[in-house]
Structure 1
Amino acid sequence: MKTVLITGANKSIGLETARQLLKQGYYVYLGSRDVAKGEEAVSELKAEGLTNAEVIEIDVNNAASVKAAREVLGTKTKVLDVLVNNAGILGVQPQGSLQATANDFKEVFETNFFGVIETTQAFIDLLKQSAAPRIVNVTSGLGSLTLHSDPTWKYYPYKAACYVSSKAALNAYTITLAYDLRELPFKVNAVDPGYTATDFNNHSGSGTVEDAAARVVKAATLGADGLTGQFFSDDYDPETGISPW
């Protein structure tokens, strides 16, 4: 049975991603900063008959927590097939480039960028034991520098400086990570789940968590012929599913 760790998995897109992967036969470790909320999510899944799930306590902003999560997971499995770096924050609002402070930027980067690096490096040894390891970095269409430079793009006015910068940085890390793992059977990709109605945006998004999670799951379950080092976004191009960086 293949295994997957999803950070920020106790609600919204993370939880739905867990649900969909469970239905595909994966054993899912739900990464949650709050264990109680994680346990509630697991109970919800088990009530649906999806029993191969358990909580892993992990706060991606805390190096000690990430290290502890790796140690705990190592007692449960020697192989991790998929890592979904889903945990993310929007940050303080508004986020004008001249109004947001350096500390505002740092707060968002701690979760959206540095947390991904910390987690990926902590679990890379378990991923290397998989015959077909997959890393999915959940990003945003707002992380595309090309689109943010195009006045005709539908989201062009949404210039949340902290969030946009953190996701652009995450995209850059995805490119370099995929390159560094190119000689191994990894597939490393960034996935834009779309403008989804969640607590993250006060449910202002037009997309559903089911559709958003399906995009993440697609990248998490890529076959040997799948692409790596890509920025997947059905919102930009439904035919190719690829966004410009």
Structure 2
Amino acid sequence: MPVLAAEGLAKSYGTRHALVDASIEVNSGEFVAVLGASGSGKTTLFRCLTRLAEPDAGSVTLCGQSFSGLQGRPLADARRQIGVVFQQFNLVRRLSAIDNVLAGRLAGVPLWRVMTRQFDHADERIAVEALVAVGLADHIDQRADTLSGGQQQRVAIARAIAQNSRIILADEPVASLDPETAEQILGLLHGLTRSRGMAVLTTLHQPHLAEKFSDRALHMEAGRFVGNPH
């Protein structure tokens, strides 16, 4: 059973068709890359997969359950199965690495409780373990805004690990990183598919990186998947 599956997704903004009959499946332990130029529909696909945007047509299934019609608490609970990693990290810059991870793990808990460290010790242990897993054992208490770009992206990945995500959706996670750091981050994501059985779906601009790290690479043009996956 796929961890994440979408069938016939479509999304338009006015007269622009951003997504056209897009279908995709990602399985546990699989690293899938989506390639395409800017404006090809990659980000719209991710927004529809996470329900940050509602598709005009089509359906999304998460861990065998319909994700399309959920609202309120059921939607929030389902979203915890998806760890999202953004190009610009989306960290709270004034918080430490561990507090950013805890904020993700304790989604729905007021941020002030994290900032005043009102959380269970078991949650703190899980957050520490996640940061160690991504190579940040020496930066656990360091503020996010003092970390390098690659380190901030590692915090974002640790956040996904700590919330027990079944799949990581990474939207251009290495676009703002230098080539060496980009390979380190993609290597880390690839390692999670092997060591933890997590699924990873990422968008990329660089075909050589997709070839090196992904199990499958899909191509998008004008909101559609084109060609054969390889």
For the aligned pair, the TM-score class normalised by the smaller chain equals: 0.3 to 0.5
Higher helix share: 1
TM-score, normalised by the number of residues in structure 1:
0.32
Q: Which structure has the higher relative contact order (CA within 8 Å, separation 6+)? A: 2
Higher strand share: 2
